[in-house]
Amino acid sequence: MERRTIGAAALGVGAVGLGCMPMSWAYSASEQHGEGSLRTVHAALDSGTTLLDTADMYGPFTNELLLGRVLRERRHDAFVSTKCGLLVGETHIVANGRPRHVKRACDASLRRLQTEVIDLYQLHRADPEVPVEETWGAMAELVTAGKVRALGFCAVGARADRRAGSGSGIHETTIRQLERVQQVFPVSGVQAELSVWSREALRTLLPWCEARGVGFLAAMPLGNGYLTGTLTPGGGFEADDVRARHPRFTAEMMAANQPIVAGLRRVAQRHGSATPAQVALAWVLEQGRHVVPVPGTKKPHWARENAGADAVVLTAEDLTEISALPPARDSWD
């Protein structure tokens, strides 16, 4: 697989990463099986994927524990990215950016992951009660201590900004925070949503990263599974699945957005055995050499298919056709 470089720390990773969250958090609990997830991680590593993306809140904690079972055997094959800054309560999630918490969280993640160093340690969300510079300073001390190799920053979700009425100001809050922490310690990576049906990062956040040599980890590059073309409109989701409450996953909106999948399928057909998912990932890869899509999955065959997107080379005609696809609709429209 092609190698790409993340940020100022010049960390090399496979061009397509693996999002581990679905293995133990946010998606259909009935389909989360530990042994199957272990096979998925191994399949990804065997296919050339190196970046494994997790967080202490996934589970909580169980996602890191699962990865630790793989890393115990294959640490040299993997690039480990995990996150801190969010705590899961009984009814809601809260931010905690206090320096003492950050340092304790890092030590706990190292134990669960069964590793001596985290390659990329990301701030999952800035704590509104703590100056972001203080949180970032504590994270920088972890680099100095040799527990972390580089630091990353997760953007506020574009849809959350949209609900808050930011309009064209999507990601402006994140950029202001990035400018502040960059004065404390270099930002090596920024993680934010980017896909064929969620392109907000192209406006300001992606250019900010490119201009500063910062890597961009594209979260949800397959649109929570929609862009794979394998979901049936109206098929329903389990109550604990985030898509059950997602404004683009009502039966009406899934049907309305079918032209996007149809367009990806047309492009895929011009590339022999390529799939719509691989085309969607190839489009993300085309957005810059500093971009690494991180599709999430819990099935080995999807991990192998996603890794194969690296071999799909889109033509100018393909890119023009994808650019002309209609914007995604959701129940906020």
Known catalytic residues?
58
For 167, residues 6+ apart whose C-beta sits below 8 A from its C-beta are none
Helices and strands (H and E) in the chain: how many:
12, 12
For 168, residues 6+ apart whose C-beta sits below 8 A from its C-beta are none
Residue with tokens 């959701």: 330
Is 293:310 a contact under the CB 8 Å cutoff? no
CA nearest 303: which of 13, 25, 31, 46?
46
Helix (H) or strand (E) holding 79: strand 79-84
Tell me the sheet residues that pair with 215: 189
Is 299:36 a contact under the CB 8 Å cutoff? yes
**Token reading at 265:** 């399928």
Is 53:22 a contact under the CB 8 Å cutoff? no
* Amino acid identity, position 62: T
Cα separation of the two ends of the chain: 39
Q: How far is CA 160 from CA 39, 56, 167, 293, 316, in A?
A: 34, 22, 11, 21, 33
